[in-house]
């Protein structure tokens, strides 16, 4: 599953002495003992959003992955079966609407895409995939309540759909509704214990509450399931720094930088840990690289 990430901002390297420390929009890194660190208002955390994906059929037509539909309605992304097997298959109206909405969204025509998805759902209300895509577009447009309503309707139709549970939990977490977010994400993990997105987003939600130690196991498990996820190394590094596991934090930030060399947040976090380990020259180098990447 691809993931749409929320925007982040970066701050300049703090001056020597009294410092303000934040890394991107993910919250402050822990202060080293003996130093005074100040933290501005806690910024929002960017959450991973597990968007649906399409896979290509051998004939080049898009096929839906895991679409849940009900009754005798044809599934979006699949060809309607012709009664005469000798006649080439034709796409259903549901399929045509779905692909038109996807094309509009891909071309940046969000309003048109939302209109097509709504038209599709008017005729095929049990097309969960279309409804989840509509929810994503609504969330991106700032229509969070409507987006949550659409995802809740998906869950009403398919209570054990882990992908939708992760998406709703992620959205609730990004809105600061942590208790509800944790409920959805824990439920997703009960249904699918190896869901990396659920582990990751649950770790981020718990970290966002300042419960760094409790967040560590979920972030570690994320990396056991997907060791290529640079952002998970970043968050685990931040959490380990907060619980004073400097060696662990150093390793995580280093891995994040290896996987994503131009990630200014990871470079800045690496600088913070090196500062705490009394390696100021190396820390200064990381701060400088971070500033260069953000144009500061």
**Structural domains in the chain plus CATH codes:** 1-48+182-296 (1.25.40.10)
* Contact predicate 1/50, CB 8 Å: yes
In tens, the pLDDT along 8-26 reads 433 333 333 333 333 333 3
In tens, the pLDDT along 58-88 reads 333 333 333 333 333 333 334 344 455 556 6
Neighbours of 198 (CB within 10 A): 30
Q: Report residue 44 as tokens.
A: 């929002």
Going by pLDDT thresholds of 50, 70 and 90, the confidence category of residue 123 is: very high
- Mean pLDDT to the nearest integer, 172-189: 96
Q: How far is residue 61's CA from residue 182's CA, in Å, rounded to a whole number?
A: 38
Q: Hey, which of 42-46, 49-53, 161-165 has the most confident mean pLDDT?
A: 161-165
Going by pLDDT thresholds of 50, 70 and 90, the confidence category of residue 294 is: confident
Specify the pLDDT at position 31.
Answer: 29
Specify the pLDDT at position 86.
Answer: 59
pLDDT at 263 over 60: yes
Cβ neighbours for 41, distance < 8 A, ≥ 6 positions apart: none
Maximal CA-CA distance, the chain? 80
Q: How far is residue 262's CA from residue 164's CA, in Å, rounded to a whole number?
A: 32
- Mean pLDDT to the nearest integer, 251-276: 96
β partners of residue 2? 51
What is the share, in percent, of the chain residues with pLDDT greater than 90? 68
Q: Report residue 269 as tokens.
A: 């976090």
User: Which position has the token pair 């409790």?
Assistant: 214
Cβ neighbours for 43, distance < 8 A, ≥ 6 positions apart: 9, 22, 25, 26, 27
Q: How far is residue 78's CA from residue 65's CA, in Å, rounded to a whole number?
A: 10
Neighbours of 91 (CB within 10 A): 16
């Amino acid at each position: 599953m691809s993931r749409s990430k929320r925007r982040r901002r970066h701050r300049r390297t703090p001056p020597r002495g009294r410092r303000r420390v934040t890394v991107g929009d993910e919250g402050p890194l822990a202060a080293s003992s003996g130093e005074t660190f100040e933290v501005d208002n806690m910024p929002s955390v960017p959450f991973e959003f597990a968007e649906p994906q399409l896979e290509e059929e051998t004939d080049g037509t898009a096929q839906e992955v895991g679409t849940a539909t009900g009754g005798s309605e044809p599934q979006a992304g699949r060809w309607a079966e012709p009664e005469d097997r000798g006649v080439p298959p034709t796409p259903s109206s549901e399929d045509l609407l779905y692909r038109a909405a996807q094309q509009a969204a891909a071309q940046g025509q969000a309003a048109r895409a939302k209109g097509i998805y709504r038209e599709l759902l008017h005729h095929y209300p049990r097309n969960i995939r279309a409804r989840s895509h509509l929810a994503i577009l609504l969330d991106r447009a700032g229509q969070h309540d409507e987006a949550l309503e659409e995802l809740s309707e998906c869950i009403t139709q398919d209570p054990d759909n882990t992908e939708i549970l992760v998406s709703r939990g992620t959205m609730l977490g990004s809105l600061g509704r942590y208790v509800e977010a944790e409920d959805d994400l824990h439920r997703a993990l009960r249904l699918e214990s190896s869901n990396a997105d659920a582990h990751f987003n649950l770790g981020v939600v718990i970290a966002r509450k300042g419960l760094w130690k409790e967040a560590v196991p979920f972030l570690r498990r994320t990396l056991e399931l997907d060791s290529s996820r640079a952002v998970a190394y970043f968050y685990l590094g931040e959490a380990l720094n907060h619980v004073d596991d400097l060696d662990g934090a150093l390793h995580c930030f280093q891995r994040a930088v290896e996987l994503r060399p131009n990630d200014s947040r990871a470079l800045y976090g690496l600088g913070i840990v090196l500062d705490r380990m009394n390696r100021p020259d190396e820390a200064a180098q990381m701060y400088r690289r971070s500033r260069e990447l953000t144009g500061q």
